[in-house]
Structure 1
Amino acid sequence: MPEFAVIIAAAGAGSRFGGTVPKQHQPLAGATVLERSVGCFAGQPGIAAVHVAAAPGDARAEESVARLQASMSVPLLLHPCGAAGRGQTVLNACELLAAGPAAPEWVLVHDAARPCLHPADLARLLAAVAEHGEPALLGAPMLDTVKRVEDGAVAATLDRAALCRAQTPQAAPLPELLAALRAHPEATDEAQALERAGGRPRLVLAAHPNPKITAPADLAVAAALIAAGTGV
């Protein structure tokens, strides 16, 4: 199995979440959302280092990384390379890794706002990469009926069997992801950048909930998952 450098995208301002404290710094089960997300990779096989891509001057991110460094079995580093958009933030982090003295072969990009990644799902994703040697991402089946809307009215019902909800982590070789993000920094996730560059990332279905914190109510859901043992 290849070793992975994890990039935690943690520069979001949390405009949809509201309030003055970004969602990645909200308290969650005795830590913060960011700290919980970083902790998902602690002690996991195949992880060589964890890199937190935060907004420049983010003192809360600095404090979180400092608190966690002693308990991590791999290097945990903070990079104040965040940008206005997620794609540019991840691109900036990839550029830093590629320019470093020991550039990783593979990267694993994870949203700071997904603090409930289950170790078994991470292992499934890494195993798929090891087996197939190609980019891959975690996803969840689309269980709801999905409508396409035009001018406020339903125009069509989509076949949900052909749809899934993309999650993170998303894995790719660093050179391939770097080229895709350079060409498509506006992409909303790494898989989209790779798609636009002509790739077809492999989908690995998660067996456990892996929700993204978007609104304040999501914190209660994440806390319940952690308490129940279905989130880390």
Structure 2
Amino acid sequence: MGQAYFITGTGTDIGKTIVTSALYLSLQALGKSVTIFKPFQTGIIEESNTYPDISWFEQELGVKGSGFYTLEPETSPHLAIKLTGSQIDVKKVVERVHELEEMYDIVLVEGAGGLAVPLIERSDSFYMTKDFIRDCGMPAVFVSTCGLGAIHHVVTTHSYAQIHDICVKTIVYNHYRPEDRIQNDNIETIEKLTGLVGLACIPTLADVRKDLRSLTLDLLRDQDYTQQLKEVFKA
């Protein structure tokens, strides 16, 4: 039986889909059977009538059936559900994660936003992303930028994960500039404060479609990256 991992951001529009894609290609290169699952996708592209992340995974990576619940409003899932009157069965989503674990070595589950995002509003409470993670028994992988604000965002997200007994395996930094002294110090400070060991630093890609696979090849040439990738994902 395989294992599902939850890919979560420490902020909005932080690059979870790019990081998930790079991890998918990297793990495939190591000979593992991998899939991607996006259980809650909000925000439709009206011009093409498609959902961006699900469409990307299918068209660019060839991952079929990565979606589950799709909601047109570009809002938090709980509000999109209210606005559309959708009926959501969380048990079915959890069951789907476990079904995929039976079929693949590794399941990369991409979240909608961060750990504290509400998924469903109930009469007296919210079913939160952290509840879904725990119900599925998934460890988490953080995605963060490394510029100003990153220390606060990562440290508070990590503290929230600890409070709710979520195991955080590693962190991937996006939009990294190696010449930026602030970014390098932020990474060093984040890892001292949280104990997390960064898996990779990914630069801003000028053309994601063209550059993603070459980025993955560059990452795989780094022995530290491949070794830690094997350790984090038991690959």
Give 1 or 2: higher helix fraction.
2
Q: TM-score range by the shorter chain?
A: 0.3 to 0.5
Give 1 or 2: higher strand fraction.
1
With structure 2 as the length reference, what TM-score do the two structures score?
0.35
